[in-house]
Structure 1
């Protein structure tokens, strides 16, 4: 298998290795990054190589050559910006016998645009906060309750997010398209879910985001919530062609109730907690790539706490 943009995803490498061990399958993990010599996950992989930026024209051809030359059966992307090119090239990889773990182009187009995400979910009856593009808000900001959140339409890792207390804090211009949302309170959760190739959601595992660093959960605890599972199932249905592992964040606002704020159509940074709790989504991704039946992944441990800390890989 190949993990792309591997970066610090050492935990994901170990999740796949543990999954292969349970399956009694020999797994060779390849990893790539812009600078693989500076990537912890690449250092822990069995093989590694330098890949172009996913925005480069040579990105997909380089990966296609690599998977062909190295007999790669599974490609797992880890960052949002590579999902669109990989979804568009999914059939090209399949013609070489490689399964790419990515949802449909339509689903990726939706989740990469946070305004469109909110519109699609709202239309499907999935709870979301009131949302408008910055241009729409500037034209009509009456009736909004301050404070408000502003964030990039295509942002990630908490980049560019700000809390505005009143209209005076709104900048005259921003370097990228922005959207405005009603501010939510209460506890924040991530829900990891697995959707089969048949479009059916097999499990959803929420965890409380007790502490977050650079947009990624640092301390978390699994929480079994029937209402979150219903929301996850409705979300999976609302996204055309959603497949494999996805995750989304929501706030359980004490006034409004649960409200989804964003979706990542990939393995999230906090996935190892769901995996350790017994939701073996990575194993089912391997099984899908190999052509084996899926295993049940909804019998997971409630109340399992993950306390991350910094570690080092020495090369």
Structure 2
């Protein structure tokens, strides 16, 4: 079979997960990748073949990816960055018409995950524990009703971009940006990511929490898988509330010293720390390949706890 990882960038570990899953299944896999500048993408050099595509926010982006699938017999597309999720989610039926499955949730779910204020409103609506959140102007208008300091971040940000702590209303007023920001209750404790796998019918089949021991550029650099009944319950609550989840998703939560957890972010895609879940036995890549092949996925929740991931920098060399 043939598959495509889009916006491949530095996601070498993700591609290697699919290579190893295909080998375990006895499947000959043509693994393609695409990016804005594939010559400068380590993951594109890891792939069997790579293609240049427009930016994910280009109006023609989904059409270009669709043509790549048509021309190369691709049956599975795995998106990796937030900005491409919405156009690909809107085009899911067009991909299905040519025999290609895009591993992406519904446009409604993507819209919730892409907007941190909508995420907070969604969680509150479904009585899922989350930090109090509001636009900056609403906080400024009722500053005395908030417990300072607060966490401030772009409503559509990712990878830790623009996140800062403000200690009083004067600091809040000094924030200048051309994009909307929100303020949130500042959570303290141990930060976790929970990687979730949903099958093609939208059923939650696996949820793997890992503690984010050390973070670099918004991604876990040192982490350890943890069994947590509370995070498992939050995952089940999320699964019951999310509109049409499919494939790999993750959420981030802070667990305080009393063991109480609050969710502060949802990502409708593979999380950057997925290789840790994969190594612990939660092989989402295997289950996606099985579904693409028309098989029932062997998804399970019997992954191993206390598996540690320690990341380091590696290099891809091209040319002589």
The interval holding the TM-score normalised by the smaller chain is over 0.9
CA distance 1:172–1:267, shift in 2 (3 Å): closer
Aligned to 2:196: 193
Distance 2:113 2:55 in 1: 21
Distance 2:104 2:299 in 1: 21
Structure 1 position 253, deviation (Å): 2.2
Shift of 1:165: 1.2
Which consecutive residues of structure 1, in runs of 5 or more, have no partner in the other structure? none
* CA displacement 1:14-64 (0-9 Å, x = unmatched): 101111111111111100011101111000000001110011122111111
Q: Measure the CA separation in 2 of the matches of 1:244 and 1:226.
A: 22
Match of 2:55 among 50, 53, 56: 53
CA positional deviation for 1:243 = 1.1
Q: Could you list the per-position Cα deviations for residues 165-213 of structure 1 after superposition, in whole angstroms to 9, with x for gaps in the alignment?
A: 1112112532211111010111000100111122211110000101100
SS at match of 2:288: helix
- Which residue is 2:145 aligned to? 143
Contact 1:280 1:297 in 2 (8 A): no
Q: TM-score, length-normalised on structure 2?
A: 0.96
* Alignment-derived partner of residue 99 in structure 2: 97
Deviations 1:135-155 (A, max 9, x none): 211221222111100001111
Structure 2 residue 35 is the aligned partner of structure 1 residue 28: no
- Report matched runs for 1:104-183 at 5 Å: 104-170=106-172, 171=174, 173-183=176-186
The normalised TM-score by structure 1 is: 0.98
1:312 Cα deviation after fit: 0.6
CA distance, structure 2, for counterparts of residue 254 and residue 126 of structure 1:
19
Contact 1:278–1:297 under 8 Å retained in 2: no
| 1:251 Cα deviation from its structure 2 partner | 0.6
Cα distance between partner residues in 2 of 1:237 and 1:155: 26
Residue in structure 1 matching 2:211, options 199, 208, 212: 208
Q: 1:238, 1:119 → 2: CA distance?
A: 13
Q: Find the partner of 1:307 among 305, 310, 320.
A: 310
Structure 1 vs Structure 2 CA RMSD:
1.1
